[in-house]
Structure formats: C-alpha cells, structure tokens
C-alpha cells in the first residue's frame, strides 16, 4: 500500500479549497496568528516559571487541521514572527532571547515537531475517531512536554526538578484539553460529511 492510498485531506483542506499555493500560505499565516493569540492566554503556576497557556494546544490543532507540511509552516511562521520581536509568545513576550534562551524555549522549539506528528496522524484519519483523535493530540502533547522537560532539566541541572516544574503541573490541564479536542474533531468531521453528502 502506497502513501497516496491512505493519506487523507485534513479537515481544513476538506472544507476550504486550497489548491493555490498563495491560499495555503495565507492559511498558514492565519493559523500562526491564532497560535499567537492563544499564547496570550497565560495562567501563572506557583513554583514553576512555566505558565499554563493556550499556545501548545493551538499548535497541536494547527497540525491536525492543516496537516504536517502546512501545520509546520504555520508554526515556523509563528516562531519567526515572535523571534523577530513581535509580542507573539506567552503574555506578550517576543524576541530571539525568549525563543532560544528562556526557560520555556524547549517548549517553543518542540512545536514544529509536535505539529508535524499530529498532522501526519490526521492525514491518516486519526482525527475522525474519538479515541484516535485523543491519542494523536496526546502524542503531540508528549513531544511538547518531553522537550520542555529536557530543556528545563538542562537549565536546572536536575531531571527531577525539570519534571516537577515543567511536566507535572500540566498533565491534568493537557488531559482536559485533549479530551475536548478528541470529542470535537470527530463531531466536526461528521458534520462536514453530512453537509457534503447533501450537496
């Protein structure tokens, strides 16, 4: 079985006709701004320099909705704009120092890989079923948390401290977000298929 026989369109590209490269670039740019908007939702957590934000969740959805290539393109656009100084990172932060040398840089640098993974799984239909949609989002979340953990462990000199401050506080919030997305994505596909069948 070749890749072309099982690779499917993602939800966005099933709804929006995006054959032209310019349209795809504009979609990716729009999603980069949505990630930036989600990053402004930040809740500090006592005992850790890493807040709960909406950006990692937005990154995972971007991968699912745009697929691996354009999902990664959107994330790279987001990181580039934030790195150039736009207030696109958490709570209005920006600049290369925040992108590459902050305690949260591990999370930011993981985003293209997380989007690639969730997008790759979405192209194989994982977002059409509740359990597999949750699994796709969960695997993407593990990429983000794992990279954040490694980065924080290097910064603090302790893997245990990195886990305590960079992974543990986010497990329950991530489970909640993954569960919501896991339920919403198949419903969106059912609605799309129902509308398409009536055309």
Q: Are 38 and 53 in contact (CB under 8 A)?
A: yes
Mean pLDDT of all residues in 42-71: 91
Q: Report the pLDDT value the prediction gives residue 193, as an integer from 0 to 100.
A: 78
Higher pLDDT, 19 or 67: 67
Q: Report the pLDDT value the prediction gives residue 6, as an integer from 0 to 100.
A: 59
Q: Report the pLDDT value the prediction gives residue 86, as an integer from 0 to 100.
A: 95
List of long-range contacts for 30-35, beta carbons under 8 Å, 24+ apart? 31/62, 31/65, 31/66, 31/71, 31/74, 31/78, 32/74, 32/75, 32/77, 32/78, 32/81, 33/78, 34/58, 34/62, 35/59, 35/62, 35/74, 35/75, 35/78, 35/88
Read off the pLDDT of residues 124-173 as tens digits, 9 standing for 90 and up: 999 999 999 999 999 999 999 999 999 999 988 999 999 999 999 999 99
Read off the pLDDT of residues 89-111 as tens digits, 9 standing for 90 and up: 988 889 999 999 998 999 999 99
Say yes or no to pLDDT of 47 above 50.
yes
Q: Report the pLDDT value the prediction gives residue 12, as an integer from 0 to 100.
A: 84
Q: So where are the chain's domains? A: 10-197
Q: Report the pLDDT value the prediction gives residue 1, as an integer from 0 to 100.
A: 38
Topology of the domain covering 10-197: Arp2/3 complex 21 kDa subunit ARPC3 (1.10.1760)
Compute the Cα dihedral for 26, 28, 32, 34 and give only its sign. Answer: positive
List of long-range contacts for 43-49, beta carbons under 8 Å, 24+ apart? 45/169, 47/165, 47/169, 48/164, 48/165, 48/166, 48/169, 49/103, 49/104, 49/165
Q: What is the pTM of this model?
A: 0.90
């Amino acid at each position: 079985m070749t890749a072309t026989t099982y690779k499917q369109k993602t939800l966005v590209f099933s709804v929006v006709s995006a054959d032209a490269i310019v349209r795809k670039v504009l979609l990716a740019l729009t999603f980069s701004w949505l990630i930036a908007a989600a990053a402004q939702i930040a809740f500090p957590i006592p005992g850790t320099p890493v807040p709960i934000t909406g950006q990692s969740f937005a990154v995972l959805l971007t991968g699912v909705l745009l697929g691996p290539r354009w999902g990664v393109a959107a994330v790279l656009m987001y990181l580039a704009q934030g790195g150039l100084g736009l207030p696109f990172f958490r709570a209005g932060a920006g600049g290369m120092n925040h992108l590459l040398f902050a305690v949260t840089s591990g999370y930011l640098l993981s985003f293209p890989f997380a989007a690639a993974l969730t997008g790759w799984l979405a192209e194989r239909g994982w977002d059409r079923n509740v359990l597999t949609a949750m699994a796709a989002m969960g695997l993407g979340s593990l990429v983000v948390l794992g990279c954040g953990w490694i980065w924080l462990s290097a910064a603090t000199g302790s893997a245990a401290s990195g886990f305590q401050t960079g992974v543990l506080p986010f497990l329950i919030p991530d489970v909640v977000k993954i569960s919501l997305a896991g339920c919403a994505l198949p419903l969106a596909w059912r609605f799309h298929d129902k509308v398409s069948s009536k055309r």
